Amino acid sequence: QAMWNHGPAMAEKMKSLGIPTPQFQGNEMADLIAYLRTVGTAEIQERVYLPPGNPKKGAELFRQKGCSNCHAVGNEEGKIGPNLSEKEYRRSLPQIAGIMWNHGPQMWEQVREMGLEWPTFTANEMADLITYLYFLRYLDQPGNRLAGKRLFQEKGCVECHSLQGKGGKIGPDLARSSLLSSPLELATAMWNHAPTMKQVLTEQGKPWPRFQDDEMRDLVEYIRSFPQQTIAEQGKALFTRFCASCHGEDGKGNGPAAAGLKVKPKDLRATQARDNEYLFRVIKEGGEAVGLSPAMLPWDGALNDKQIEAIVAYIRTLSP
How does DSSP assign 11-79, residue by residue? HHHHHHTTPPPP---TTHHHHHHHHHHHH--S--SS---PPPP-HHHHHHHHHHTTGGGT---TT----
Q: What is the pTM of this model?
A: 0.44
Q: How confident is the model at residue 121 (pLDDT cuts 50, 70, 90)?
A: confident
Q: How confident is the model at residue 243 (pLDDT cuts 50, 70, 90)?
A: very high
Distance CA 5, CA 23 (A): 17
Distance CA 100, CA 54 (A): 19
Please determine, for residue 317, whether its predicted confidence score (pLDDT) is greater than 60. yes
Q: Is the dihedral of CA 58, 97, 136, 70 positive or negative?
A: positive
pLDDT digit string, tens, across residues 85-107: 776 666 777 777 777 777 777 88
Please tell me if the domain spanning 2-138 has the same topology as the one spanning 231-315.
Answer: yes
**Closest by alpha carbon to 241, among 196, 165, 307, 183?**
307
Specify the pLDDT at position 318: 86
| pLDDT higher at 315 or 28 | 315
Length of the chain: 320
Specify the pLDDT at position 44: 55
Q: Is the dihedral of CA 235, 240, 245, 250 positive or negative?
A: positive
Mean pLDDT within 22-29: 77
Residue 78 and residue 132 in contact, taking contact as beta carbons nearer than 8 Å: no
Residue 164 and residue 238 in contact, taking contact as beta carbons nearer than 8 Å: no
Is the domain 2-138 a CATH 1.10.3470 member? Answer: no
Distance CA 153, CA 207 (A): 14
Q: Is the dihedral of CA 165, 168, 170, 172 positive or negative?
A: negative
For the chain, what percent of residues have pLDDT higher than 70?
85
CATH number of 231-315: 1.10.760.10
Q: Is the dihedral of CA 12, 13, 15, 19 positive or negative?
A: negative
**Closest by alpha carbon to 227, among 163, 171, 167?**
163
Sketch the domain layout of the chain as residue ranges: 2-138, 145-223, 231-315
Mean pLDDT within 188-201: 85
pLDDT digit string, tens, across residues 27-85: 777 778 777 767 765 555 555 555 678 888 888 898 888 888 888 887 665 568 888 87
